Amino acid sequence: MALIQIKNTTTTSKYNYEPADQGSDYLNTMELNLGFIGGGNMSTAIVKGIIKSGVHPASKIWVAGPHIENLKHWSDMGTNVTSENGVVFDNCDMIFLGVKVNKLQSAIQDIKLTAKSTAKEVLFVSMLAGVQIKDLHETINSHLPGVKASVIRIMPNTPMTVGAGICLYTPDHTVMQSKCLILEKLVSGSALCEKVPEEYMDSLGALTACGPAYMYVVIEALADGAVKQGVPRAMAMRHAAQMVVGSGHMVLQSGKHPGLLKDEVCSPGGSTICGITALENGKLRATLINALELSTIRNKELGKK
């Protein structure tokens, strides 16, 4: 089954930095030691994308988590695994923060307790939903005053695992263009990587990172509908998923408004418009708009905890 393979757009929005320093850092990406603090679902999706796309060797990736037994899949991928966040900190120049929001303080404290030295320059890449760049700096500065930290906030999504993800990012004002390009290079094999203003992180991030769960519900429900009409479950699921993939491709590749694409499928008096009537009666649009609003509100709440 064909999957959406979105290559990096090499961002062209007005939020791009001027290419002030696209130099050796960018060219030497493969030389970097990449770290992950927290090796759960999202970090795993990112690292799988990086390794699959061959953009960085597993031997130069480090991960830390409190339960080493939960990191077996990382050792299987050939990465370096440790239970001490300080080991990742000592070895790595660019460190992804992949813990739950309520574990941020303890994760940073663990760096302080277990690192050999905390006097160094580090680029932290935070995937923590809702946590603003200024709060990340505050936490890092309060526990690791000797660290010269810069921060890129990202909002990735789990479809990065299969090379069809999205990774939004916002750098702080100290992050050089070359560092943004390194991030883009690392994730662009598995995600559409786009720089956005931080104010969109909670809302657009809700769409891109929570959205896959909404779509799984849609796919499951559509398959249920076909099963109700007598189609075998596995066949129904396969076709529901591929239909959603194809519809996304149509929007991206045709450049047409989805309303127009919908009209093109709805013949007068036909079967599709009958189905659309049911969707409108069920308030599908309002439901999705409300879903996004609640996810955005929750993102903001999480960041304040």
Ligand X SMILES: NC(=O)c1ccc[n+]([C@@H]2O[C@H](COP(=O)([O-])OP(=O)(O)OC[C@H]3O[C@@H](n4cnc5c(N)ncnc54)[C@H](OP(=O)(O)O)[C@@H]3O)[C@@H](O)[C@H]2O)c1
| Closest distance of CB 39 from ligand X, Å | 5
Structure tokens at 190: 């598995």
The verdict on 204 binding ligand X (CB under 6 A) reads: no
The verdict on 158 binding ligand X (CB under 6 A) reads: yes
The verdict on 305 binding ligand X (CB under 6 A) reads: no
46-65 positions binding ligand X, by CB under 6 A: 64-65
Distance from C-alpha of 214 to C-alpha of 212, rounded to nearest angstrom: 5
Distance from C-alpha of 249 to C-alpha of 279, rounded to nearest angstrom: 22
The verdict on 128 binding ligand X (CB under 6 A) reads: yes
72-111 positions binding ligand X, by CB under 6 A: 85, 98-101, 103, 106-107, 110
Distance from C-alpha of 205 to C-alpha of 203, rounded to nearest angstrom: 5
The verdict on 209 binding ligand X (CB under 6 A) reads: yes
Considering only 17-25, 114-122, 150-158, 175-183, which stretch makes contact with ligand X by CB under 6 A?
A: 150-158
Asked if residues 253 and 260 have their Cβ atoms less than 8 Å apart, the reply is no
| Closest distance of CB 59 from ligand X, Å | 21
Size of the site for ligand X (CB under 6 A): 29
Burial of 199 (0-12, 13-18, 19+ CB in 10 A): exposed
Question: At what angle are helices 284-304 and 271-281 packed, to 10 degrees?
Answer: 50
| Closest distance of CB 205 from ligand X, Å | 7
> Which residues on adjacent β-strands are paired with residue 191?
165
Single out the residue of 9, 19, 12, 21 nearest to residue 187, CA to CA. 9
Burial of 192 (0-12, 13-18, 19+ CB in 10 A): buried
Asked if residues 265 and 272 have their Cβ atoms less than 8 Å apart, the reply is yes
| Closest distance of CB 138 from ligand X, Å | 17
The verdict on 152 binding ligand X (CB under 6 A) reads: no
What x-and-dash track marks residues 18-37 binding ligand X by CB under 6 A? -------------------x
Please report, in range form, the residues annotated as the binding site: 37-42, 85
For binding to ligand X (CB under 6 A), which residues are involved?
A: 37-43, 64-67, 70, 85, 98-101, 103, 106-107, 110, 127-129, 155-158, 209
Which residues are documented as binding site for NADPH?
85
